[in-house]
A and B are shown apart, each in its own frame.
Chain A
Amino acid sequence: MTDPLLPVDAYLVESLPEIWFGVVLFALGMYVVLDGFDFGIGMLYATRTDEHERETFLSAFGPVWDANEVWVVAFGTMLLAAFPRVYSRLLADNYMLALGFVVALVFRGLGPELREQRDDERWKRYADYAFIGGSVFAPLLFGMLAGRWLFGGATLPVALTGVGLVAVSVVTGAAFLAAKTEPSLASELRTYGIGATLAYLGGVGVLLGTVVLTDAGGAADAVLSLPVAAVVALSIAVGLGGSVLARRGRYRAWLASALALPTLLTIFVATLLYPTIYPPTGLLVREAVVSPLALNLVTVLGFPVLLLVLWYFKFLYGVFSGPIEDEGYGG
């Protein structure tokens, strides 16, 4: 079968499989960054007892979380489209983690939606439990899933990856809220943000040490490579620099540096993986990728749409930019 529109036996460009490895990790990064601060909002929400402050948090969360969450679907489906075996093995080998994660997302998503439906103390309390619990467990389990992807069955590195994602989510959540609220609340938030930054950097240090010492998942060499060292050094610089900015009350700059942390984390994941894409079985990017026609098709149809999606997000965050208005979750 010859298709005149697309090359059948050759990739559009020779490096298309590697480009797709990058695209899939880009979607992962978008998810970790964007839904990460949603999780952070959910966890910091637990520190608020004042109804007004809780409403403020929910107003920041309301218009954007659903769109942010779609990035995990984009990640999963693009992984399936380009590297079906990795999608299959990652999810099937980590059955309970993967399904635990999606159930945590159910609670996280429903909590705020249900909270606003009833003006009743007990009802709101249960909705809050769902929101907070989901916001803690979703990044924990998702991080552990990523840890299993990188390090296979090694318990401590896997747990640390989960905790690391929780910590970095608190950092971005705090920075996002601080940039959008009044100074007194913001200065409380920065305390949590700075604490979480230090915890995150410390956790990364312990994680790297453990991997080097135990060679978890055979990743010791990769961890000691130059790119990983560069990413780690940058993370430390960005984390500490961001904390200084936060101290000085420069919250928008802090937000920018805070969002760089999960971005660097994703780059860290990418450098650890490549050129393999599923370390537990040593599967390489080139072995796992689909045939040229299939990949060319998802490239031609998918890339323009991906650009459009990025424009949607620019539009959405433009509409809801600036300080949070006290309008509650439901508008």
Chain B
Amino acid sequence: MGPITLLGAVDPVWVAFLSPELASRMQFGWTISVHIIFASLSIGLAPFIIYFTWKDVRTNEQRYARLRSFWVKVFGVGFVMGTVTGIPMSFQFGTNFPQFAEVAGELIGGPLAFEAKMAFFLEAVFLGVLLYGRDRVKDRTYVISSVLVGFGAWLSGFWILIVNAWMQTPRGYEMVTRNGMEVAKLTDPFAAFLTPRMPWMYVHMMNASVIAVALLVAGVSAYIVWKKPDTEAWNTALKLAVVLLIISAPFQAVHGDAYGRHVEDTQPQKFAAMEAHYETGQADLHLLAFPKSPDALTDPRAENLVTVSLPAVGSFLASGGDFDAEVIGLNEYDENPPVALVFWSFRFMVGLGFLFIGLSLWGGYLTYRGRLSDSTRYLKAMIAASPLGYAALLTGWYVTEIGRQPWVIQDELRTSEAVSSTLTGAEATLTLVGFVVVYVGLVLTALYVLKWLVREELQALGVREPNEGRWHGPIPGVSDDD
């Protein structure tokens, strides 16, 4: 749905409001976008938290105690944000997409319940210990708590992605009639849980979270090192984040390339939207694309873009080696996803991915030369790049989710059929506005808290900041661990 139809999609009765379908989709998209930032923060921070906690307990070195304390606080705030934004997610399948919940209940209910019981509880309980129990439990229990919290975050992703992967490549079910409705009946749990998409998605998402958080840790560390070059703790954190980035960023590109071929195999329509490929036949690869006119932003086609393209390489990549391979075009389908959003999101994500590889190689070179913390230019680049991992992660998910449209369950249930029939445009629009307001406040608050934590850390390191910013309140006290 491009912007043109987007404007046309208002409810005829409630002219001033969005249609229930569009409002529901925007609401789900918006709330999950915010939630996933915090969910992936937990996933990506997990290795850092475990490492710092373990080193702290084992070596008793001040730098690790400092890093543990700082990042556990960030994890704690992120986890609370993740909890409060996650609960609406588990309700919105019912409030906004009840037909989807009912059709897919047998397939998605189990994994969602396992996520709550196996993962969410594990994280929530042992995070309580991690945040408040340092003096109440033994060292060993404390380290184990950090491992369990991290494990919980990764396990949580596992079950949630089983659900999402099933929506992309549904397997292991048959359609039956129950209570007068066509619903999916589970016939093969292994096929339903370990769908073709699942391993691809899990690896790509976990690694994307590691990249996003490595960039965040690197950015925060770079800022503190820039202000206070001789800090032992934050030089350690910076180096660790860069090392993690050197491993994860190139891996993501190699993995993503193969993932793309898998999407072409299993969801040709989405792949065609990613490449704005309309005519079935040989596909070119558009390495770079720029719009010639504003129209091309909303309707990208090869003829209205300035592209740097490799002829037939699209076919080669999609088929894994055949330049003449036929790639199915968008013209084959009755209804297509909003091509522009998918096409540009995909390019944005890939472009950022290559930027991260560049940053990681640059960092690797500087580390090799032993000048990582001396290069002000690199420190500034890393500060600037600190939110970009999240931008890549979100645009990647836009490709996945918007690219699946018009289906909510690929080739089985349309999104338009999944939306609540009792929901009015007024209600849906009202709650959408409510969620936008509340969550914007939430994200801003999270950013402020991070900023305050960094300032507090600088204070503890003895750095007096030249600009105190707009906040004129007293500086919060420094806790005992420092």
Listed in ascending order, the chain A residues whose CB lies under 8 Å from chain B are 1, 3, 6, 8, 62-64, 66-67, 69-70, 72-74, 76-78, 80-82, 84-85, 87-93, 95-96, 98-99, 102-103, 105-106, 109-110, 113-114, 117-120, 123, 283, 287-288, 290-291, 293-294, 297-298, 301-302, 305-306, 309, 312-313, 315-316, 319-320, 327, 330-331
Inter-subunit contact A110/B477 (CB<8 Å) = no
Inter-subunit contact A103/B438 (CB<8 Å) = yes
Within the complex, which residue of A105, A291, A330 is in contact with B87, where a contact is CB–CB below 8 Å?
A105
Inter-subunit contact A293/B98 (CB<8 Å) = no
- Knowing A105-B84, A110-B84, say if A3 contacts B189 (CB, 8 Å): yes
Within 8 A of A (CB), among B115-138: 115-118, 120-122, 124-129, 131-134, 136-137
For this complex, 11 residue pairs linking A to B, each with C-beta atoms less than 8 Å apart, are A63-B132, A70-B121, A77-B90, A80-B94, A92-B94, A92-B422, A103-B434, A109-B80, A109-B84, A291-B176, A319-B129
* Chain A residue at minimal CB-CB distance from B27: A99
Inter-subunit contact B117/A306 (CB<8 Å) = yes
Inter-subunit contact A96/B427 (CB<8 Å) = yes
Inter-subunit contact B113/A77 (CB<8 Å) = yes
Within the complex, which residue of B108, B125, B474, B479 is in contact with A80, where a contact is CB–CB below 8 Å?
B108
The 3 A-B pairs with the shortest beta carbon distances in the complex, nearest first, are: A84-B105, A91-B94, A81-B109
Q: How many residues from B make CB contacts under 8 Å with A?
A: 77
B106 within 8 Å of A by Cβ? Answer: yes
Inter-subunit contact A88/B101 (CB<8 Å) = yes
The distance from the CB of A287 to the nearest CB of chain B, in whole angstroms, is 6
Inside 8 A of A297's CB, which chain B residues have their CB? 110, 186, 189
Within the complex, which residue of A87, A95, A114, A291 is in contact with B420, where a contact is CB–CB below 8 Å?
A95
Inter-subunit contact B128/A92 (CB<8 Å) = no
- Knowing A102-B87, A298-B109, A330-B479, say if A73 contacts B120 (CB, 8 Å): yes
Inside 8 A of B95's CB, which chain A residues have their CB? 91-92, 95, 98-99
B365 within 8 Å of A by Cβ? Answer: no
The distance from the CB of A289 to the nearest CB of chain B, in whole angstroms, is 10
Inter-subunit contact B122/A312 (CB<8 Å) = yes
Inter-subunit contact B131/A70 (CB<8 Å) = no
The distance from the CB of B109 to the nearest CB of chain A, in whole angstroms, is 3
The distance from the CB of B453 to the nearest CB of chain A, in whole angstroms, is 8
Inside 8 A of B474's CB, which chain A residues have their CB? 119-120
| Alpha-carbon gap, A316 to B133, bound state (A) | 10
| Alpha-carbon gap, A108 to B477, bound state (A) | 25
B348 within 8 Å of A by Cβ? Answer: no
Inter-subunit contact A72/B87 (CB<8 Å) = yes
- Knowing A87-B105, A92-B98, A105-B87, say if A113 contacts B113 (CB, 8 Å): no
| Alpha-carbon gap, A212 to B88, bound state (A) | 35
Inside 8 A of B367's CB, which chain A residues have their CB? none
